[in-house]
Amino acid sequence: MQRICVIGGSRYFGKLLVKRLQTAGHQVTVVNRGSTQPPAGVEHLVVNRDDEAALATALGSRTFDVVVDQVCYTPVQAAVAALAFADRTRRYVMTSTIEVYDPASAALPAVPPGTPVPEEIVDPATWRVAMDLPWHDDVYREAHYAEGKRQAEAVLASAGGFEFASVRSAHVLGGGPQEFTGRLAHYVERITRGEEIAVHAKALPTVFIHYQELADLLLWATTANFTGPLNACSNDPLDVHGLTAIIATQAGREPVHRTVRAGEEASPFSFDRHYAMSNARAEELGFSFSRTTDWLPGAVAEALTAEPSPTV
């Protein structure tokens, strides 16, 4: 049994992770703002993680074997967490994102299309941190999501006081109404209604992961001994045409594609730039991924029976 603190953990794969940690026999503490109660038997600390003094007070004398941070989006949040947990945990795992590799969001080393992107393309140990940017502004933070994650990783990687690992998740799908991005629902609804899907002329593949598989990987990461960034994605990258073909088969409708003009926004998951991740490091460390084509039809079936979601 380990003492594990989950920051966030109130919805989607974070909520599932809490349940799986509990089932595995760990002593779990959830830290969030209190909008959702954790399962019975899980300790709940209601506090704003951005408030350093309040967080320290809420934690009191508690110590943990592992902290899993589901909601760290900026270097400012990372700095607060680094101070709060420096003497309270031996291991800190942050949930990061595939978006850190998006070449549209930063000057990154080029990776030829078709070559899965490895973790070293974005090295937290060398990434520049700018704490004086307007990270407290919601609009700025949303517009600079990828950079916020890169800088948050960099702060925690250099903090010391604990082992640090970041799990860079692929696009997460599955769970029907639980899927809070609404992106799979966007495709399902448009294809079902016969509406156009806006795509690039030369759409490139991306990678996905089922929300249950991501919870499994995060559970595994709490007892693994790796440090540094780790890519998390199912096997079988798909471009937007492969994605819509699977959805269309489940929906019994043909997808209607419309090619966008230069500079025009395309639908989610249609990409004109390459940053599909490699999962080789995780598999070498002992985690086995599923194939996207094995679980995606079931995820689509869930979305087809769910209540309509807002379009994204």
Which tens digit of pLDDT belongs to each residue from 84-121?
A: 999 899 999 999 999 999 999 999 998 988 899 999 99
Residue at 311 is within a domain:
no
Among residues 212, 196, 188, which one has the least CA distance to residue 304? Answer: 188
**Which pLDDT belongs to residue 310?**
42
Residue 231 lies in a domain: yes
Question: What is the per-residue pLDDT across 39-74, written as a single tens digit (0 to 9) for each?
Answer: 889 999 999 999 999 999 999 999 999 999 999 999
CA distances (Å), origin 25, targets 10, 42, 95? 19, 11, 22
Q: Which amino acid is at 151?
A: Q
Tell me the mean pLDDT in the region 272-299: 96
Angle (deg, nearest 10), helices 183-193 and 292-305? 70
For residue 35, the model assigns a pLDDT of 78
Between CA 185 and CA 195 the distance in angstroms is 13
Q: Within 10 Å of residue 30's Cβ, how many Cβ atoms?
A: 26
Residue 19 lies in a domain: yes
Q: Which of 47, 71, 22 is nearest to 222 (CA)?
A: 22
Range(s) of the domain holding residue 257: 3-305
- Would you say residue 292 lies in a domain? yes
pTM of the entire predicted model: 0.94
Residue 238 pLDDT: 96
Q: Is it the case that residue 182 has pLDDT exceeding 90?
A: no
Asked whether residue 296 is assigned to any structural domain, the reply reads yes
**pLDDT confidence bin for 311, thresholds 50/70/90:** very low
pLDDT tops 80 at residue 179: no
CATH number at residue 116: 3.40.50.720
Strands 228-232 and 171-173: unpaired
- Of the two residues 166 and 302, the one the predictor is more confident about is 166
Residue 312 lies in a domain: no
**Count of domains forming the chain:** 1
CA 137, 141, 147, 151 dihedral sign is positive
Q: Is the pLDDT of residue 260 over 80?
A: yes
State residue 86's pLDDT score. Answer: 93
Residue with tokens 């249950």, as numbered in its chain: 212
Q: Is residue 291 part of a domain?
A: yes
Report the C-alpha gap between 12 and 179 in whole angstroms. Answer: 7
Domain for residue 310, yes or no? no
Segment 138-155 mean pLDDT: 97
The answer to whether residue 162 scores a pLDDT higher than 60 is yes
